[in-house]
Amino acid sequence: MRAALRWLRAQAFESTSASRRRRERLDGSCAAVLMYHRVLPRDVILRDHVEPGMYVTPETFSRHLMWLEEEFSVLPLHEIVARQGRGDPLPPRACAITFDDGWRDNLEHALPALERRGLSATIFVVTERVGTEGAFWPDEVCRRMGPLRLDRQRELVRSLGAGGGGDPVASVLDRLKQVSEAARLELLALLREQTASPANSGPELLDWADLAQLANAGIDIESHGATHAILTGLPDDVVERELRSARAQLLERGHGRRGLLAYPSGRHDKRIQAIAGRVGYAGAFTTEPGLWDAKSEPLALPRIGLHDDISRTRPEFLYRFPGSA
């Protein structure tokens, strides 16, 4: 029902001049930045209980690129950064494509689609996770809870002190994102005691050879922190170590030359922005929606998140991008 209502709303919006007027806001004075995470076939999504809101299928991603070419001017993110820094105008309907985390499927499924259309992207990677086994803790939560019956999921919500309303897995994820790093580790240990270990899905994150291949194909590799720790819950010295280490590791291997950062989980504040600037980042991106213009704070730039459930059709895509506000 919710999906049908979402489609009807997008269809009605696209049938009016409001949709065209929204795209015309990108008049050369501002840009829109898309945010993706994973590009995965449907069978893998179901098998691995992939977190909702974190993926598009290869078919959806290919359609997105087609619609972008039809309606927008797709530029490399670093070109928009450079033009905005110089105060130069952008082409009308300027936008860029980004991915967070550094998933291997970005190489397997996103790159071929980008290459078919001659488009570039920026991938923000977690440097200490490059080439390592396993995924991230939200993925572990989904894989441990996803196969369980609803009543058992709700028991886990209660035992972990999460909110009782809505989807149980989403409630646990939200709870774990709100607590300190130490508390999160304790809650994850409790979850592991009460659930079965998920099957090993093999290497899921890009390694340094993969990143070199992507870079040779014109993909920029930039920073998503060293460990993906939520920075706002850390003291200054640890935040600085996270950001400085990630930048140094990338530069050592010929990446990170644009000095760009995507905050892990999008979490940031003025303190984190100041540290990012001190470490040497020229631009940092959030998960907050909006358009990026000359008035935007360079260390708190907006992006527009897209995932499969809200953007499979052209009206839904254009309702979300370049933003529904």
DSSP 80-147: HHHHHHHTPPPPTTEEEEEEEE-BTHIIIIIHHHHHHHT---EEEE-GGGTT-SS--HHHHHHHHHTT
Provide Rg for the chain, Cα atoms. 20
pLDDT at residue 283 tops 50: yes
pLDDT at 2 over 80: no
Q: Which residue has the higher pLDDT, 256 or 15?
A: 256
CA distance 255 to 20: 38
Tell me which of 2.120.10.30, 3.40.50.720, 3.40.1380.10, 3.20.20.370 is the CATH number of domain 2-134+201-320. Answer: 3.20.20.370
Mean pLDDT in residue range 274-290: 96
Say which DSSP state 205 is in.
Answer: B
96 compared with 8, residue with greater pLDDT: 96
* Greatest Cα pair distance in the chain: 57
Predicted confidence band at 325 (pLDDT cuts at 50, 70, 90)? very low
Mean pLDDT of 111-139: 95
Region 267-278: mean pLDDT is 97
Under the banding of pLDDT at 50, 70 and 90, the label for residue 261 is very high
pTM over 0.85: yes
Average pLDDT of the residues in 4-19: 64
Asked whether the predicted pLDDT for residue 324 surpasses 80, the reply is no
| pLDDT-based confidence at residue 135 (cuts at 50, 70, 90) | confident
Burial of 94 (0-12, 13-18, 19+ CB in 10 A): buried
Question: Mean pLDDT across the chain, nearest whole number?
Answer: 92
Identify the pLDDT of residue 5: 66
